[in-house]
Amino acid sequence: MYLNRKLTLLGSILGQRPVRCRQRPGARRARLTALCLSRPRRLSVCAVLRVDADLRWMRAGSVMRKVKSRTWKKQRYFRLQDDCATIWYKSEKAGNAHCTFSISDVETVREGHQSEVLLSIADEFPPDRCFTLVFRGRRGNLDLVAESAEEAQSWVRGMRKLIENLESMGEQEKLDQWICDWFKKADKNGDGRMNFKEVQDLLKMMNMDMNEHHAMRLFTLADKSESGTLEDDEFVLFYKLLTERPEVRRLFQQHSSDGHTLSLWDLEVFLREGQLEQENLREHAAELVLCYEPSDTAKTRQAMTIDGFLMYLGSPEGSVFNPSRKQLYQDMRQPLCHYFICSSHNTYLMENQLRGHSSVEGYIRALSRGCRCVEVDCWDGPNGEPIVYHGYTLTSKILFKDVVSVMGQYAFKASQYPVILSMENHCSVEQQRVLAHHLTCILGDKLLQNALEGRSVSGGLPSPEDLKGKILLKGKKIGGLGASVSAVGEDSPVVDPLTRVPRVPCVQSSNERLSKELSDCVVYCKSVRFSSFKHARIHSKFYEISSFTEFKELRRADFVHHNSRQLTRIYPSGFRTDSSNFNPQEMWSVGCQIVALNFQTAGVEMDLNDGLFGQNGRCGYVLKPLFMRSAEKQFDPEHPQMLDRSGPLTLTIQVISGQQLPKVNQKEGSIVDPLVRVELHGVPLDQAKLETHHIENNGFNPIWDETLKFTVHVPELALVRFVVEDYDKTSKNDFVGQFTLPFSCIQQGYRHIHLLSKDGTKIPPSSLFVHIRITQRT
């Protein structure tokens, strides 16, 4: 009954009559997909039915223009495949050649001329026919022009609903989808059945080297019809046998009083002893049964089956990252200098620092990831319009006004907290006035142009809460906070006797000229050159900010004290022409707020950045520890033992197993030999790395069952990075996946770690299963 209801729903979505259990070979595949996706989803039936017309249109296919530039516009045929999870497209010239991409690869859909490429053809095609598919990670966008506004809207609406549907899936549903995708790849003749040879090929594709005898045993157990092939329910059974989690079943049976279910009492014991929870255990146990148990019979008995147990452990509640720390949970009313701020360097660059492509897309991507400080390098451009590029290099150029326009559109989509626009100004006075004009006219009220009312000019920096919805310009300024150009005082400007143009005060170079209009756009982030900590303590104002290269050697304890009162920006060395990054942890450990990284470059540095700012609602602001916010406390990251506390902590991690790890080498027959490395990043005394042994030829369900121990002196500044690599005894190990999170956000107990790709995107259903315990070191 349930299957037929599901198939009826699927048929209504696709505009077809419902399919039944025994049909032609093509229908068998469709039914298998329905079986694998048969778990109820959060997306309501009504919500699905509302978009059936759009999905029908997408399944019928459309000829649209794929646009790469003003001169490159080619027609392609696009169609949503029957699985409603894949887009197929084909070139008219390519004969039978075609390409596909998964709906899960698409992060969002933009309507109209919301990309550089589509803006360049705005005079040819109206915005209601244009849309952009934005892919996850660092993959380039797909810009499309439909034949009609109606067609474009059908694709936009349909794609958004499909993306929403995928994002609403639980971990078990993602696993079901994953296994069905592999089935379709392995079923090479498309008959909806799998013989033993196809099963063997499937196992290798799925990163599993299973001996032939064991594979045949599972195949025979699943082949209930004894036909020598698997179809329909038989393949689902084979899949269940294949994905059996013996380590989870053992854990379940250890806590089950009757060996079949977990009673509320059993669950309460598990939460206390296994998950190391202490409060409201009975209430939590009842909530888990209600939330995750799929069996109505077990629910009535207030018990949990192995299926419910697996669903709980695979859910966000069973994740290593404490869900309560993913929400906005910190005090946002502290001064700006009391927060770490997610920051980007040379945001306009999509590639390297010498010949890389400059694009407004860099700002869109950074802001969409929660970045709250972006950089712009401004130079004189033709026709009186300032341009943005990396000066004295061969990087391409974009218009400053286009950058500001994008800032206005995207600054507050991911977070409502303030954005700092860090400006490197190389423009003439005349074009500086144009800069100011674009900032004030395009951004309007979003640009902070005056000190906040009711706040004294000597009262310290405002808070992120005070500055919600505001863009702050960081740059040179004539005079002090609230001072006019004609004012006389310690910050009064020097006037050039020939041009009568104000020069920047003595804290800056004496030959730099600045327009009053641009100067007036700077309020709380006045750029000044750093002289010394002693000079800063005596002379610096709270609204002044200094920038340092990563190589600047400064006494750490003095730096911590300085950063408790003022903002500091750190940027990569100019020698990093490949857009590589430095280790941001070293700068966070001395309290530097604005640690700017090249967002376009994946690697451990961006993993740490994403890990730190993955908490607190991904708002781009993380409150610094109290000992870094107080000017009275003397914290030295080189000597953390001086902190007034009971002693270091011990972090014990039992690395139990892995699930469905992605293939690294796509060569036929290649299977990973995975190992797990756990890295602790923090103050120098806390830096450590430990790893498991490697498992040969099993990326599908490897079991390590190894315990790693770490000592943590300053948990408030520590990040933990879990890395899976493909072991290679003759060369460097290949990266498989990783996950990074703040130590303070770890959930103890039996937890799943859902791995991310090198680009920081999800790769479901790949995960690690671990047990974590945090204790006071004795």
Q: What is the pLDDT of residues 206-236, one digit of tens each?
A: 777 777 888 898 999 999 999 999 887 788 7
Cβ–Cβ under 8 Å, residues 652 and 775: yes
In this predicted structure, the answer to whether residue 517 has a pLDDT above a threshold of 60 is: yes
Q: Quickly state the pLDDT bin for 642 (edges 50, 70, 90).
A: confident
DSSP readout, 104-162?
Answer: GGEEEEEESS-SHHHHHTTTTS-GGGEEEEEESTTPPPEEEE-SSHHHHHHHHHHHHHH
Per DSSP, helices labelled H in 589-702 are 604-612, 626-629
CA distances from 346 to 180, 350, 398, 402, 574 (A): 42, 9, 13, 16, 11
Tokens 């990326």 locate to 699
Dihedral in degrees, nearest 10, Cα atoms 615, 341, 116, 107: 0
Q: Which of 113, 255, 338, 390 does the annotation list as catalytic?
A: 390
149-167 vs 52-60: helix crossing angle, rounded to 10: 110
pLDDT given at position 20: 31
Confidence of residue 93 (pLDDT cuts 50, 70, 90): low
User: Under a CB-based contact definition with an 8 Å cutoff, are residues 615 and 709 in contact?
Assistant: no
| Per-residue tokens: 264 | 């509320």
Helix 361-368 × helix 400-410 angle, to 10°: 20
pLDDT above 90 (res 23): no
pTM attached to this predicted model? 0.85
**What residues are paired with 568 via a beta bridge?**
546
Other Cβ atoms within 10 Å of 753 Cβ, number:
24
Judged against a pLDDT cut of 90, whether residue 526 lies above it is answered with yes
Q: What are phi and psi of 102, to 5 degrees?
A: -85, 145
H or E, element range at 670: none
What would the two tokens of residue 517 be? 């209009």
Helix (H, G, I), strand (E, B) or coil at 19: coil
DSSP states of 420-449: EEEEEE---HHHHHHHHHHHHHHHGGGB--
pLDDT digits (tens, 9 = 90+) for 609-626: 999 999 999 999 999 999
Q: Kindly state the DSSP code that residue 349 receives in the 8-state scheme.
A: B
Give me the residue label for tokens 């945001």: 347
pLDDT band at 457 (very low <50, low <70, confident <90, very high): low
Place of tokens 């860099």: 362
| Distance of alpha carbon 334 from alpha carbon 559, whole angstroms | 19
Token readout for 201 is 């090929």
pLDDT of amino acid 26: 47
Q: Is the peptide bond before 765 cis (omega within 30 degrees of 0)?
A: yes
Which stretch of 43-52, 257-266, 699-708 has the lowest confidence by average pLDDT?
Answer: 43-52
For residue 492, what pLDDT is reported?
A: 45
Residue-level pLDDT at 591: 95
At 46, which amino acid appears? C
Amino acid 470 reads K
| Contact assessment for residue 76 and residue 101, using Cβ atoms and an 8 Å cutoff | no
Q: List, for residues 593-603, the tens digit of each pLDDT value.
A: 999 999 999 99
With 70 as the cut, is the pLDDT of residue 589 above it? yes
Q: Which of 255, 338, 345, 561 is catalytic?
A: 345
Residue 325 backbone phi and psi in degrees, to 5: -85, -10
Cα 693-699-700 angle, rounded to 5 deg: 130
Distance, in Å, from the CA atom of 642 to the CA atom of 594, rounded to the nearest integer, reads 26
The β-bridge partners of 629 are none
Q: Which distant-in-sequence residues (6+ apart) come within 8 Å of 268 by Cβ?
A: 281, 282, 285
Residue 11 has pLDDT above 70, yes or no: no
Contacts of 656 (CB under 8 A, 6+ apart): 247, 703, 704, 705, 768, 769, 770, 771
Name which of 47-56, 544-553, 587-596 the model is least confident about: 47-56
Alpha helix segments (H runs only) across 471-629: 516-519, 533-539, 556-563, 584-588, 604-612, 626-629
Interatomic CA distance for residues 647 and 70, integer angstroms = 63
- Select, from the ranges 30-39, 220-229, 328-337, 693-702, the one with the highest average predicted confidence (pLDDT): 328-337
Handedness of CA 419, 422, 425, 429 (dihedral sign): positive
SS3 72: coil
Secondary structure (3-state) at 594:
strand
Q: Which residue has the higher pLDDT, 186 or 434?
A: 434
For residue 390, indicate whether it is catalytic. yes
Contact 453, 408 (CB under 8 A): no
Other CB atoms within 10 Å distance of the CB of residue 82: 17
Q: Would you place residue 63 in the very low, low, confident or very high pLDDT band (cuts 50, 70, 90)?
A: very high
Residue 246: Cβ-neighbour burial (10 angstroms; 0-12, 13-18, 19+): exposed
